[in-house]
Each structure stands twice: as structure tokens, then as C-alpha cells.
Amino acid sequence: MRAMSTPNPTKSQQWLLYCRPGFEQDCLQETQAAPLEVSANSGFLILQGKPRLNYGQLAFTRQLITLLAEVSELPDRDRLTPLLAAIPDTPAQFSALWLETPDTNDGKTLSGFIKRFQPLLEEKLRVSGRMAENLRLPRLHIFFPDKNRVLIGISDPQNSAATAMGILRMKMPYEAPSRSVLKLAEAFEVFLSEDEKTQWIRPGMRAVDLGAAPGGWTWHLVSLGMQVEAVDNGPLKGVVADHPSVRHLRQDGFRYRPKHAVDWLVCDMIEQPGRVAALIVDWVASGSASRAFFNLKLPMKKRVEALKEALASIREVLDKKGFKYRLQAKQLYHDREEVTVFLARIKR
């Protein structure tokens, strides 16, 4: 058994990060922290050296956890006793207990074990007074890279993903014309607070979907009660093809502009990230759209650089104009070789 002391903000701190398998190096590069354990396609990495990381600024990080302890050789029969002994005394209480595995095929084989083990551990923690109904308290993460090794850590509810494993699985609507609908549905849930959803998603709002075909993102906007202009030279499919809330415009998404400003702009076109970023910021800076969700398709060997350049180009335009804005990027669970970006002008 190997235990690590409770993190001290003034000393070198250790972090456990989850990411999409295959993106470990991108996750590492973005943090600029020192690697302790990074394996290709593992879906997680251990870092040290940064006193603080900001989850909201890490596009490739699914979950951000302060690493407290490790048990490297759990026995096959009694895993509970050594695990309980390894959980540090500080913090004294937790708001939630999340037992997690890597998002890999090997990790999925542990799901049955996790379901059986979770209630046993949770009951022990409750009896000992370690669990409390206070959402401001840190969450306790028990991460199993495999069945005989466990990493123990905590996450700050204000600086981490709000879902176990950092994954928000969306249900595929049977009427949606493509699975791309899941990306936009997840984006609305991940980037917007409940108050923002109430304020910014209302029936009758107007939206434009650039590169709309076959209509997955258009379908989701319609499901939210919006009136949508779907811009694409290609055909729409399914219910959106003749939906009364959809106006299909067979035009070039890079040239189209609406006659009147719209509430939402969305874009999932397969194009160079710099070109898409320039298009979206022009809409928002000119007042053609109040806010936008868009995907940036990133080159395999320069993902971090391409993302940084695209976001920097957006900031440069808006900063020169003196605009106040919100710009966030995250590789969502339903994304693949891409990152979803949210941009909104903020009224002063």
C-alpha cells in the first residue's frame, strides 16, 4: 500500500485527470503539468507540480481530481478493509461517493463489481459519519484502473464535472435524423446553468444551423421550441425535412447572413478550425447572433495548438471591439476528433 499525504496548496500537488481514451497527451500538454503516469488509450493520467488547475479552462479534461492516496495491491477477497484504511482523515466529510473506472473496454468489465461494491463502501462511510448532505463539500472519488488497484481522491464541486467519470450520456431520440443531435444536447446541459437555460432557451426563439444536413442539430433546436433556419446545400432528413418550424435554405454556410439578428447560432461543419472560428466570431461580433455553439474539428497531431489558435483569434476580435463575452471549450463525451465551443456576448 502506498499513501500520499493530503494536498497542501503550497507544495507540489498531485492530480488525477480523466479524458477520452487516445487524448492523454493532449490532456497533458494542455495542463503544462509534470507527468507521473500517462499511458496511451488508458483514459486517465496522473500529474503533479501545479498548485491549482482550472477545470473550466481544460478542454480535454473530463474530470479533475486532487489525488490523495493509492492502494496498489488490493486483495481479491477483502478489498473493503484496506480501502477504508487508505481514505485520509481530511477532509472529514464528503458530499458524494463516486466509484469509477476508465472509459475503456477493460474498464467496462468492472461495472458489475462497481455496482456490488458501491453500497458496501457507502454504508461504511455513512456509519462512520464521513458522508453528509451538503453539496458544497468535496466529492470522494474511488477510481479503479483495474480490479486490484485503486486511486483515491476528491473533487471540488465548483471546479470539476458534475457527473461521475465526467460523462453525461444522452439518450438518442428516435425521431432525430442523426446521432450528432447528442453533441448539441450535451452542450446545452454542460455549458449552461439552470438559470441560463431558463433565460436563453424559450419557445419562439430564432436560431440558425450552419451546415445543417442531415438535420441532427436542427432537430434538437426544434425540440427546444425554436424557429430554425437550416443552412445547407445538402438535404435534410426525417421529420425536420418538412417541419413547420424549419426553413431549409440551400446556401453556402460561410456566405449566408440572416436579415435579422437571431438568438442562437450553431455550426458543426467539417472545416479547418481557424476558418470556423473566424465565421462564428464574425456573427457574434456583428450582432447577427447573441450566442453560439460550434464544433472545431482538430488535426490529429496538433490538437492543442489548433484549439489555442482558434480561441485566441476569437478573443482578439472581441477584445479589440471592447466586448464582454464568455468563451469556453470542452471535448464532450459525444464528441470525437473535435471540441465543442460556447461563445456568448454578455451585456454590460
Residues with a catalytic annotation lie at: 297
CB 262 within 8 A of CB 207: yes
Burial of 78 (0-12, 13-18, 19+ CB in 10 A): exposed
Rounded CA-CA distance 106/134 in Å is 34
**Residue written as grid cell 482538430:** 298
Helices 216-223 and 181-191, axial angle in degrees (round to 10): 50
H-state helical runs in 104-235: 105-108, 111-127, 181-191, 194-200, 216-223
β-bridge pairing 206-210 and 227-231: parallel
Helices 273-286 and 303-320, axial angle in degrees (round to 10): 20
Helices 24-31 and 303-320, axial angle in degrees (round to 10): 40
Length of the chain: 348
Rounded CA-CA distance 14/5 in Å is 10
